[in-house]
Structure 1
Amino acid sequence: MKYQAKHWLFLAPFVKRALKKRYDAADVKLIMGGAKDEYKKLLEQADNIGEKNPMADNLYFSLLFFSFMKASDGKIGPQELRQLMRDTLSDPILLKLMGNGDFNDPKQLAKFGKKMHDNSDWAEEHREEYPETWKFNFDDSHQDGVYYYFTKCPIAKFFNDQGMGDLAPIFCELDYLTVKTRRAQLLREKTLAQGDDMCDFWIVGDQVQDPK
């Protein structure tokens, strides 16, 4: 994947704010000083899924977070990386920039569902050029929310290809964290990162009880 400065410029300042909560100035300097180079190396190793792929940000941001672990000289392990992602994605300024959403609103949830179908259409139209991008499947049998699942995920594939499959489940947590910012809940039974045959996404508003 080609490095694009916009992802680094957008997220890195908030990661730095999160790092300052848990690490001293020397450690923050070490981690921040090496992360961008590590990020570029990671992108070079990743499958090209298309810079204009509407899902590409998911891969970019996952590898960006991972670059801080790679640059930490052992100071950030798997659990620390989980916490770093949680701290970053709970930053009120970042949440404001990401926009306030509420998937308890049927119109907003329907708009999200359409977006996922559009993303799937893009993937299939470009499947020959970018064969490793996400493979969407949809199931409308659920009465509540939006349901879909992936049978191919370039994020899980990246970590498996690099012999780091044990780290892949960490990045599944980003799904829960980002869904939460839209006042929604993610109900899930399987992930490719854990060796299952799919990653399932059942997304409903956080006010929905006993979803069907």
Structure 2
Amino acid sequence: MAEVIHPFYESHRVEMEAAMRERLDHAQAMLRERAQLADTDAIRREVMDEFAIVLTQMPYVGGTASRMSDFFMRLLGFMAISRVLRRHGVPLAEIGEIEREAYKAQLLALPEAERLAAGRQFMSPENQALLREQAAMSTTARHRGEFPADFVYDFVEPGPGDDFDFGIDYKSCGFCKFAARHGDKDILPNLCGLDFDAYATRGIRLHRTQTLAGGASHCDFRFSKLPPE
């Protein structure tokens, strides 16, 4: 029986595939010059074929009711890129650098005003209230039972002397679960490396000292506003 894509992801498939093609556009020169892959058109086709497989593997965690659905849709495509480049013998560290530079270029292609507005919305009191609500929901037995592949996390308030606006401690990571299930644990840290540019391009400073992928008990995300340039 053929694998199927969850209807929620199927409804977003066109834009996810477009985002993948855009990333590959940004990565093309690096694939040729740094990864020494001459036939980049063949690599692109192989990545898109692999992405079709990733789409069938993406876990449903609640759709629009869960903020983490957007994280899966934006980032799990990098698993397809990593898998293909790994098969072609590209070193893991080089894969990570190529992906990070391609993703940063993709993000910077958006108008600055749009990116910074998204950053202000993320840091807003309204979004912090949503994060508190979603964090509390993620830890409930009902949610964990219904969506075992989802993230589990706590919202962190700053204490006296802290220099961040708020934080999130991820106690259980959906990407880690995905990687363990599908044999991607060695390429998982490359996904973690994308976070810093994702926030910085929106005017947000991310400070993080440890990750679940690196063997820690939790990922300690701490957010603050970047000073204007």
Answer whether TM exceeds 0.5 for this pair.
yes
Structure 1 position 71 matched with structure 2 position 84: yes
Among 153, 166, 170, which residue is 1:136 paired with? Answer: 153
Given the superposition, is the C-alpha separation of residues 89 and 107 from structure 1 closer, same or farther in structure 2, using an over 3 Å criterion?
closer
Residue 145 of structure 1 aligns with an amino acid whose one-letter code is D
Residue 84 of structure 1 aligns with an amino acid whose one-letter code is I
Matches within 5 A, 1:1-212: 2=6, 3=9, 4-9=13-18, 11-24=19-32, 26-52=38-64, 53-72=66-85, 73-74=87-88, 76-91=90-105, 94-96=109-111, 99-101=114-116, 108-120=123-135, 123=138, 124=140, 126-142=143-159, 143=162, 144-207=164-227
Deviation of 1:48 after TM superposition, in Å, equals: 3.1
**1:156 touches 1:165 (CA, 8 Å); kept in 2?**
yes
Distance 1:105 1:133 in 2: 26
Q: TM-score, normalised by structure 1?
A: 0.80
Given the superposition, is the C-alpha separation of residues 172 and 207 from structure 1 closer, same or farther in structure 2, using an over 3 Å criterion?
same
**1:18 touches 1:84 (CA, 8 Å); kept in 2?**
no
Superposed CA deviations along residues 42-77 of structure 1, whole A, max 9, x for unmatched, are: 233343323333211222333211212323441544
Given the superposition, is the C-alpha separation of residues 177 and 204 from structure 1 closer, same or farther in structure 2, using an over 3 Å criterion?
same
Superposed CA deviations along residues 167-200 of structure 1, whole A, max 9, x for unmatched, are: 2221111221211112221111221111111111
Distance 2:188 2:53 in 1: 18
Q: TM-score, normalised by structure 2?
A: 0.75
Given the superposition, is the C-alpha separation of residues 8 and 94 from structure 1 closer, same or farther in structure 2, using an over 3 Å criterion?
farther
For structure 1, list consecutive stretches of 5 or more residues without a partner in the other structure.
none
Residue 70 of structure 1 aligns with an amino acid whose one-letter code is R
Q: CA RMSD in A?
A: 3.1
Work out the percentage of aligned pairs sharing the same amino acid.
20
Given the superposition, is the C-alpha separation of residues 107 and 58 from structure 1 closer, same or farther in structure 2, using an over 3 Å criterion?
closer
Deviation of 1:98 after TM superposition, in Å, equals: 9.3
Give the total of aligned pairs: 207
Distance 2:109 2:132 in 1: 27
Distance 2:126 2:67 in 1: 15
**1:104 touches 1:207 (CA, 8 Å); kept in 2?**
no
Distance 2:59 2:198 in 1: 23
**2:27 touches 2:99 (CA, 8 Å); kept in 1?**
no
